[in-house]
Chain A
């Protein structure tokens, strides 16, 4: 009996809770470490970025106004779904030439990381909110509030772990985001979209685009409806470009280039706070 012909997967993008192809209909080849074709990925255009920002913006209001408890549950659900489908991610990482042991480490760390941030959603205002003892007859308190739409530019290395490590704190705080996935190995990140789809993350809260940064980073960093940028590209020229474009509408920018994506250092609430505003409310105290 002849070997069964395997059904190959078509990798698309994840935008607005759907899996569209790039509007440009362009693709590019994803190869493993030895140069062998694995799959074609969408080569997204600036128009794909534009559409993703629109959907992220429309999802923001609903997501940010959900209860913190609910957001925590949704994040936890992501971890559950990841755990259930981890074989798929192991396979995809190994396809790209990553050793089984390393792939396992990456997937497990990613799952645990989502759980870490899931637990912060309903604690961040308690730990970082304040009641301020003003001198006048007013009650005054400050609490963190989501910044808005965040553009995430993921690095090449540890495509799944880095992407999840960047998405989790951003959405834990109530933001919506557009992730530009690793150029060389976006496949597990696209598959992560399927996990998001199957968990209870509302459509548009996380959007995943693939393609060349040289074609998308400019658009997302200059887009006036993006409030913040979270970039893990260490190249200085790239950094400068991001910062300069950020100034168009006073975006908050965070350049995050850890040496070690596995480190527990990544698990901290300050990363959530980078994408939160402090809102201070005053009210008189009297009869």
Chain B
């Protein structure tokens, strides 16, 4: 019918040589003209967020010593949600003292079995308050309710449930060794998965018999303070968990406090390095979960439609605010054109908007600063000569929203290929042979996660062995489970969280 297959239309889709387009490549699928979904907002009536939150130290909510407060903003509306305490050295010192006292007086005296029962209680109470926590997570951080409801909160509860069971079984985890707890753990978590990262930190720390001073990120403190309520309601002994809020300066006070035995940090590689440097020579134990630039490799024998879905999960999950995001797509040349076409079709059906709408796929960028950072990378990409594609979906006028974005015509030397953007921005490169794919995949200082898509089992294993990353998702991406260790090679971090391996950093032998 059309002459498109005879006309010599060439489309440049990659950094490779121009390839002929397939016939009918100009056919459009129309996803928008009929049957639009009506708004389906999650009701937040039963959720109460106070105007002001204080630190949780020694089992009580206490005002900051210096009396200073910061503000948390709803990134979808740019409205202020609440005030929270800005922690200073005095507050951190109080919290560490409380944690030390609790460690010595109560927590380390308890049997593993009793410790475990407290942690089980916490897991159950998270489940009971799941909907409330999910809504708050979406309001405070901008992530779609579908994710906070189905991923963040259930996984957080599961994490406590999993580690609760370890508390009285530690002697089985380390053949030939009798493990001992460390003492007071300082934990600093990021804003991308506030409650889940809290669970990843606190659950293993408590199970192994340590006490905790945790600082949530300054743009997403609320669920951590709700968690403090849960600790209180669960009857957890005072001082076992202490939550001190604030920004980087508060975190630095925790890192540098002399009576902290261990630091666990999740965040940027830049800050991770600063922390590693500041505790140099102190003998404090350290785990770091840092940045990434995950390669997601699609071979031509891959299940293509599922790969497309995997690519979407890899880079657009949580607005791309994921350290293990599959932000570098590497596609074998034979399927590149078809794959990109399918990906673009799929992107047309992504709904960007109100985080509290149950149909939203991509919510708000977490903060103004991050929004501006992503925008600057889009500019860098375009200035570097990359071809930018954004889906045509509408985005709200207010709030920090970014359309899902693809960059083609890029190479390893582009900044958008090398640097972690931490947003819904995917770069697409092509390759010809498995060796080339592996070489490109490993050509980065990071090594957190990677993906491989092929129908051939032996190729999965060979690729998996060759790529230097802590997590290898084959024919899937961005899957998490409390039993599954997570953590990076190279500059993506030190140590593992999750699973039996996640106990190790909280013990000494």
* Chain A interface residues (CB < 8 Å from chain B): 65, 127, 130, 132-136, 138, 140, 142, 145, 147-148, 227, 236-237, 239-244, 246-250, 252, 255, 268-270, 277-284
The docked-state distance in angstroms from the alpha carbon of A36 to that of B62 is 69
Contact partner of B470 among A240, A269, A278, CB < 8 A? A278
Q: How many of B's residues come within 8 Å of A, CB to CB?
A: 47
- CB pair A140–B474 under 8 Å, yes or no, is no
B203 lies within 8 A of chain A by Cβ: no
- CB pair A134–B479 under 8 Å, yes or no, is yes
Q: 1/0 per residue B468-485: CB within 8 Å of A? A: 111111111001010111
Chain B min CB distance to A149 (Å): 11
Residues of B within 8 A of A134 (CB): 479, 481, 483-484
Known: A227-B490, A250-B490. A278 touches B273 (CB 8 A): no
- CB pair B501–A142 under 8 Å, yes or no, is yes
- CB pair B491–A282 under 8 Å, yes or no, is no
- CB pair B472–A247 under 8 Å, yes or no, is no
Pair count A-B, CB < 8 A: 117
- CB pair B472–A280 under 8 Å, yes or no, is yes
B175 lies within 8 A of chain A by Cβ: yes
The docked-state distance in angstroms from the alpha carbon of A31 to that of B489 is 43
- CB pair A239–B281 under 8 Å, yes or no, is yes
B486 lies within 8 A of chain A by Cβ: yes
- CB pair A270–B470 under 8 Å, yes or no, is no
- Looking at A242, A246, A250, the one whose CB has the most chain B CB atoms below 10 A away is A250
- CB pair A280–B288 under 8 Å, yes or no, is no
- CB pair B279–A243 under 8 Å, yes or no, is yes
B445 lies within 8 A of chain A by Cβ: yes
The docked-state distance in angstroms from the alpha carbon of A247 to that of B175 is 31
Q: 1/0 per residue B442-480: CB within 8 Å of A? A: 000100000000000000100011001111111110010
- CB pair B277–A244 under 8 Å, yes or no, is yes
Known: A132-B484, A140-B481, A252-B494. A282 touches B474 (CB 8 A): yes
Closest 8 CB pairs of A and B: A240-B281, A243-B280, A247-B276, A134-B481, A247-B277, A244-B280, A132-B483, A281-B472
The docked-state distance in angstroms from the alpha carbon of A241 to that of B281 is 8
Chain B min CB distance to A284 (Å): 5
Q: Please, which residue of chain B has its CB at the minimum distance from the CB of A244?
A: B280
Contact partner of B479 among A136, A239, A250, CB < 8 A? A136
Q: 1/0 per residue B265-286: CB within 8 Å of A? A: 0000100111011011101000
B432 lies within 8 A of chain A by Cβ: no
- CB pair B476–A283 under 8 Å, yes or no, is yes
* Chain B interface residues (CB < 8 Å from chain A): 158, 175-177, 269, 272-274, 276-277, 279-281, 283, 288, 290, 445, 460, 464-465, 468-476, 479, 481, 483-487, 489-494, 496, 499-501, 509
Known: A130-B500, A247-B273, A248-B273. A282 touches B470 (CB 8 A): no
Contact partner of B484 among A127, A140, A268, CB < 8 A? A140
Q: List 23 A-B contacts (CB under 8 A).
A: A132-B485, A134-B481, A135-B158, A135-B481, A136-B479, A142-B484, A227-B490, A236-B281, A237-B281, A243-B280, A247-B274, A250-B276, A250-B290, A250-B491, A250-B494, A270-B509, A278-B496, A279-B471, A281-B472, A281-B474, A282-B473, A282-B484, A284-B476
Q: Given contacts A239-B280, A270-B509, A280-B470, could you give 6 more A-B pairs where the C-beta distance is less than 8 Å?
A: A132-B485, A244-B277, A247-B276, A277-B489, A279-B464, A282-B474
Residues of B within 8 A of A283 (CB): 460, 474-476
A interface: dominant SS = mixed
Chain A min CB distance to B440 (Å): 16
- CB pair A140–B483 under 8 Å, yes or no, is yes
Q: Please, which residue of chain B has its CB at the minimum distance from the CB of A136?
A: B479
Contact partner of A279 among B272, B283, B288, B470, CB < 8 A? B470
Chain B min CB distance to A251 (Å): 9
Chain A min CB distance to B166 (Å): 13
Residues of B within 8 A of A244 (CB): 277, 280-281
The docked-state distance in angstroms from the alpha carbon of A133 to that of B483 is 6
Residues of A within 8 A of B474 (CB): 281-283
The docked-state distance in angstroms from the alpha carbon of A65 to that of B464 is 12
Residues of A within 8 A of B177 (CB): 270
Residues of A within 8 A of B481 (CB): 132, 134-136, 140
- CB pair A132–B499 under 8 Å, yes or no, is yes
The docked-state distance in angstroms from the alpha carbon of A243 to that of B279 is 8
- CB pair A127–B175 under 8 Å, yes or no, is yes
Chain B min CB distance to A12 (Å): 33
Q: Please, which residue of chain B has its CB at the minimum distance from the CB of A281?
A: B472
The docked-state distance in angstroms from the alpha carbon of A136 to that of B154 is 13
The docked-state distance in angstroms from the alpha carbon of A140 to that of B473 is 9
The docked-state distance in angstroms from the alpha carbon of A242 to that of B486 is 27
- CB pair B464–A281 under 8 Å, yes or no, is yes
Residues of B within 8 A of A280 (CB): 470-472, 484-486, 499
Chain A min CB distance to B15 (Å): 26
Q: Please, which residue of chain A has its CB at the minimum distance from the CB of B469?
A: A279
Known: A132-B481, A132-B483, A277-B470. A250 touches B273 (CB 8 A): yes
The docked-state distance in angstroms from the alpha carbon of A154 to that of B334 is 52
Known: A250-B269, A250-B290, A280-B471. A243 touches B281 (CB 8 A): yes
Q: Please, which residue of chain B has its CB at the minimum distance from the CB of A255?
A: B283
